[in-house]
Each structure stands twice: as C-alpha cells, then as structure tokens.
Amino acid sequence: MKLMSRSFFGLFTAVLGAVAVLAVSHFTSWGRDSQPAFNVSATPINRDARLGTSFAPIVKKVAPSVVNIFTTRFIKERPMRNPLLNDPVFRQFFGDQAPSDNRERTRKEQSLGSGVIVSADGYILTANHVVDGADEIKVSIGDNKKEFTARVIGKDQATDVAVLKIEANNLPAVTLADSDQLEIGDLVLAIGNPFGVGQSVTMGIVSGLGRSGLPGFNQYQDFIQTDAAINPGNSGGALVDAEGRLVGINTAIVPNENGGNQGIGFAVPINMARNVLERLVSGGKIERGYLGIAPQDIDAGLAKQFNLPDQNGALVGDVIPDAPAAKAGLKSGDVILSVNGKPIADAHSLQLTVSQCAPGSAATIKFIRNGVNKTLVITLDALPGVSSGSNDQNNPETGSSKAHALDGVTVADLDPQIRSLLRVPASVQGAIVTDVDSESNSADAGLQRNDLIIEINRQPVTGSDDAVRLCKAAKDDQILVKVWRRLGGFAGTRYLSVDNTKRPK
C-alpha cells in the first residue's frame, strides 16, 4: 500500500527538476467564460470568541454549497481469447470453440467525489483527480438531490484543482476566506460525501500549514494539514473555518491499512485554488511566472556563512543566463526574503509565490547581498518548456503536445534555460519531457519528467515536432525510445521499450 493516497473512490495515488522555480506546470483550459463573482471575507477569524455548544448553524449555512460529483468513464475492451483455442492439437480434438462474438464492448466505470459551489452562477471547485479522465460528470445539489450535467472549464494537474460549470443561477455559493490568515490550532470542519453514505461533517483543527514534499502528489504542494476526518469520497469537498468560510479543498489523506482516515488529511488552500480558478476561467493561454534562478534552502551552516539572523529565505545558488533574474541583476549568493511583500521561508515557498505571478508582471524582490538589504523589480517571463491553453493539449502539432504513440506524455523543445538548468551538453539534442501521466504506458516503461528524448525507433529527435512525427509514424506494438537523463551529479543515456498499443480510456 502506498504511503499517500488521494481520497477518492477507486483512485489511490516525479522526478522533480533540480530547481523548484523551474519545475514545469501543466494547465488545461477550454474556451473562455465570464469571471465568476465570489463572496470573499478576508478578515482573520475571531480567535477570542467563545465556542458554542453546537456547530449546527455553521453547517446549515455551508452544507448547501457542497455538492456530490458522480463521474463515469466508458472503457472499451474485447473479450479475452483463451490461448488454447489457437493450439492445433486442441482444435483437432475439440474443434473450433472460439467465441462467435468477438466484438468490442464498452464497460462503465463510475466514481464519486465532492465539490464546492463558489459562485451563484454555477462555478464549482473540486479536485482534479475527481474528474480526470471522466467521460460524463453529474453534479447533485441539495436535499432534493437535483442533478445537473457539468462541463469541465479547466483542470490543473500541478495543483490538483479542477473547475466545473453547471447551467444554473441563484445557487448557494460559499464565502471564501483568506487562507493565508490560517494558524495552526484553528478549528475547521470538513464537509463531503465519504464512501457515498451521504453528506457528512467532521471537525478538527489545522494541524500544519505549508505541507510539501509528499510523495505521489501534485507538483505545487502547499497543503493545509488537518485531523478532521477525510475519507474516500470527500475529495473535492470543503474545508471551512469556524465562521463557515471556505479555507481549502480537501484532496488527500495518509490512509490506515484499510485505506481509511487516521487523522492526517490535506487540503489545497483556497487562495491557491482561487488563483487557478481565475486563470482557468479566463481561458486562452495560461502560463506561470518564471524568475530563472536555482534556489536552495538555508541551513544553519549557510546562515552562519552568509551572516544571516535565521534560516528564513531562499539562497540563490545559480542564475540562468539571459533569464529575468539575470537581466535585472540578481546574483548567485543573494538571499531572497520576499516577493511582492510575501515572506519567503525557503526555496519551495519561492517556487509557489513566483508560480502564482503572471508572466509579464513586475515582481518586487527584497533580498540580502553581502549583508545589505536590497530591492529589485523584475519583470517575469513565462515558465519555459511548456505553453498550455485551449488547444495545446489536443493539437499534436504544437510545440508542447501529447504525442499519439506515447499517449500521456507531454513534450516541448529544449530551450537554453532548461539546457542550462539540466546541464545538457551542447552536443545533445532532443525533446524534453514536461509531463508523464502516471497511468500511461510510458510511465510503466520508466519514462520520467525531465527526460530528454533523443531517439525514437533509432531515428534522431531534435525537438518536439520530431518526437510527435516519429511517434505518429510508429506502427509496431513496441517502440524503442532512447533518453538522456540526469540524476544528481550523473548523466547518461538509456533505452526504454514502450507499449504502443493504445490503453483504453
């Protein structure tokens, strides 16, 4: 059993880049929709207020905003043929007993999750893994269980956030809190539909903030940890504070040996989820901000060497040539303390903060250089290596595309920044792997994010277009993929044999 799991029926859950800020994200967005109107209350919770004897008033206020999500996948498959039926000796004695009907059949796979209404006109936040791969999505609302067909506005695998839309008005939208105001020890309620038993409410506290580094999870991790019981079916549901304001979207648990809750659950902070929602709804090209440095955490030894008062901040280990940071004058050895006024605790928090800035925006960076406090205003670029939008995922001719033969793989051209980051020799050409579906044939074969595909079926690959072309041309059941890979201080090539028979979806 895996240590970590997504809290979702039938779905239990990277090689990360050497530099957190340069880790590649993958957004998917369809169309352009009007921006939803939120109810937002950013004031901190009143921690001096006496707790009442019942949370019923809060639950009555919030529960109508939490919905059930039913997903269906249609999986095509053919009946299995017994290999004995092909044996000449068997056929001599028993005749041709092959099944007369070998037609392709469709099997339905159904799952259950939760979601939260965030606007009166039908926008719903949920977890990406609740709806990922679904062919049909139904949303059930309220005590009368009125059912709507939902469409996916967008999904962000990197944060495990998805946005749905139903055609309805005057819906009971939840009020959004400012999750940055949360403190460890604050009371929270988790609302969802665990195990399909019906809407349920559990109580706990905020056990931790800014949790990251959890194996098997999405790339941008900044989880709220809680001991409020979160079980399968709760994924995508609401985590609310003592005033009934939404502070997070429930997404995962550390399960016990039976797959249930043991008091360690995680939620995506609403500030992060809202940032993703607004960008997905706006449609078009969606990109993350890019600074272009190799940051690292500060330990006690480094703090002493750089004469720092504590270990807060992100040390600039390297600056990528011609990247925004280099152009603005940021240098190796600088210690970044804040971005746009938001304190930076470590390299991971720098990654998160920069990722939520729009390309082309000006980021105010406060840092220490040789013991002197300084400030730079840096105009961010778009995160290199991937460009996502309404057409990118479905169009195999774009520079960042999902190759047909390597279904589930996203590739991009190798630009100078990524070449410098991964220290790829100038003599090595190829297409960089920016994303690999964990359930794909390529993942089974061992293909990893940041692998550089240099050959397909012994034909050279010089960029993403070559990778797409050679994959589409591959006819055999297996294709031979040669990759260049860096692991720590070692780098080299290896061969992978990838199953080229399309996995049913």
**Active centre residues (catalytic):** 129, 160, 235
The vertex-203 CA angle with 53 and 181, nearest 5°, equals: 100
* The one-letter amino acid at 280: L
User: How many Cα atoms within 13 Å fall on the side-chain side of residue 340?
Assistant: 16
* The one-letter amino acid at 242: A
Evaluate whether 202 touches 228 at the Cβ level (below 8 Å): yes
Tell me the backbone φ, ψ of residue 328, rounded to 5 degrees.
-85, -15
* The one-letter amino acid at 359: P
Per this entry, what is the length of the chain?
Answer: 505
Residue whose entry in the numeric block shows the structure tokens 């589409």: 472
Please tell me the distance from the alpha carbon of residue 315 to that of residue 293, in angstroms, as a whole number: 10
Cα dihedral sign for 234, 235, 236, 242? Answer: positive
* The one-letter amino acid at 288: R
Evaluate whether 396 touches 403 at the Cβ level (below 8 Å): yes
DSSP H or E run through 81: none
Evaluate whether 295 touches 277 at the Cβ level (below 8 Å): no
* Residue (of 219, 203, 469) closest to 352 by Cα position: 219
Q: DSSP labels for 258-303?
A: TSSEEEEEEEEEHHHHHHHHHHHHH-S-B--EE--EEEE---HHHH
Residue whose entry in the numeric block shows the structure tokens 């055999």: 476
Tell me how far the alpha carbon of residue 150 is from its chain's centroid. Answer: 21
